[in-house]
A and B are shown apart, each in its own frame.
Chain A
Amino acid sequence: MAANTGSAGNASEERSDPGHLDDKQELRREQEGAVTGSRHLYLVHSADASEGLPVVKSAPTGQSRNGRLDRSVQVQIGRLLRDAFADVAEEPVPERFVALLEALQAKEQQP
């Protein structure tokens, strides 16, 4: 394939992209949170169909089941995503790969 141009760490485009939550949307969510309080009540349908009736539960992070994204969870997701990647990416290179690359290089140097 034709490889990419541009630097690998080009994360800044993420911010300006319309597909993302932009700052205004995030701010609006924050404001909504401030108005309604972070601990508002909402209706959930019980997972147990035999009970039939919706039950009221407290949502500690303010997320409702109607698809409105919760800002605090979004922020945590971003952080956890980077942390999960970094957990592995910060490990030292296993010896097997050092040996493999040295073997490949040695092979190349033979006539």
Chain B
Amino acid sequence: MNTTSVALKNALLGLIPNLRAFAVSLCGDIERADDLVQETLLKAWNHLDSFEEGTNLRAWLFTILRNTYFSECRRRRREVEDRDGTKAADLSVHPEQPGHLDMQDFRRALDVLPLDQREALVLVGAAGFSYEEAAEISGCAVGTIKSRVNRARSKLTDLLSVSASHDYGPDAATEAIVARTVSSGMR
């Protein structure tokens, strides 16, 4: 029995739930997310020699997953932009209870963020990575991650405050489109 492969299998199994959550936050679709996770697992298994023993396996897997997703996006860029356009239009919906943000409002607002900002926000704010780790995963400077997180936070606050105050209409949709145009989601 190969103990290394057993240990690796168990370690990967334990990290799949986190990988799926990250993948969903990137692509917004559980089926596509699972395809990404599958591709990530295969790449990780086949390129284990490029993983430094003793370092953070979780961060390494997140890196593989996001790189896989970003290169896929570059291939399918047109489709992604179209999808984002549709989502921005969907945003101009009034929440049921003013002042209260439900998960549905939140997910829609999150999906409107440029991809790089959404990624940074999820890595730091939900997946629990430090700024330094998030920077390494995203292949950029720590300062870049910080500014992406801050822009993401203030944009979400803006979108959701407008939503929460019941003053939500074409204005906000326009704002979302402008925001995405100014800071392009793709690198």
Question: Closest Cβ of chain A: how far from B111's Cβ, in Å?
Answer: 11
Contacting pair B122 A81 (CB below 8 A): yes
- What residue of chain A has the Cβ atom nearest to residue B38's Cβ? A100
Contacting pair B6 A105 (CB below 8 A): yes
Contacting pair A47 B153 (CB below 8 A): no
**Contact mask for chain B residues 1-29; partner A; CB cutoff 8 A; 1 contact, 0 none:** 11001101100110011101110110000
Interface size, chain A (Cβ < 8 Å): 59
76-111 of chain A: CB within 8 A of chain B:
76-78, 80-94, 96-98, 100-102, 104-105, 108-109
Contacting pair B37 A63 (CB below 8 A): no
Contacting pair B160 A88 (CB below 8 A): no
Of the listed stretches B75-83, B129-137, B179-187, chain A binds: B129-137
Hey, which chain A residues are within 8 Å of B24, CB to CB? 88
Hey, which chain A residues are within 8 Å of B8, CB to CB? 105
- What residue of chain B has the Cβ atom nearest to residue A82's Cβ? B126
B-side binding surface: helix, strand, loop or mixed? helix
Question: Closest Cβ of chain A: how far from B180's Cβ, in Å?
Answer: 18
Hey, which chain A residues are within 8 Å of B56, CB to CB? 3-8
Hey, which chain A residues are within 8 Å of B57, CB to CB? 3
Question: Closest Cβ of chain A: how far from B141's Cβ, in Å?
Answer: 12
Give A22 to B106 CA distance when docked, in angstroms.
Answer: 23
Contacting pair A80 B103 (CB below 8 A): yes
Question: Closest Cβ of chain A: how far from B160's Cβ, in Å?
Answer: 5
Give A5 to B56 CA distance when docked, in angstroms.
Answer: 6
Give A90 to B21 CA distance when docked, in angstroms.
Answer: 9
Whether A52 sits at the interface, judged by CB under 8 Å, is no
Residue picked from A2, A44, A77, most chain B C-beta under 10 Å = A77
Given the interface pairs A47-B171, A73-B161, the reply to whether A19 lies near B149 with Cβ below 8 Å is yes
Complex A-B, nearest 6 residue pairs according to Cβ-Cβ distance, in ascending order: A63-B161, A85-B126, A3-B55, A47-B171, A19-B146, A60-B99
Supply 17 further A-B pairs (C-beta < 8 A) apart from A6-B133, A85-B126: A8-B58, A8-B128, A10-B129, A11-B130, A14-B125, A19-B147, A60-B164, A69-B157, A73-B160, A76-B101, A80-B106, A81-B106, A82-B125, A89-B18, A101-B45, A105-B9, A109-B1
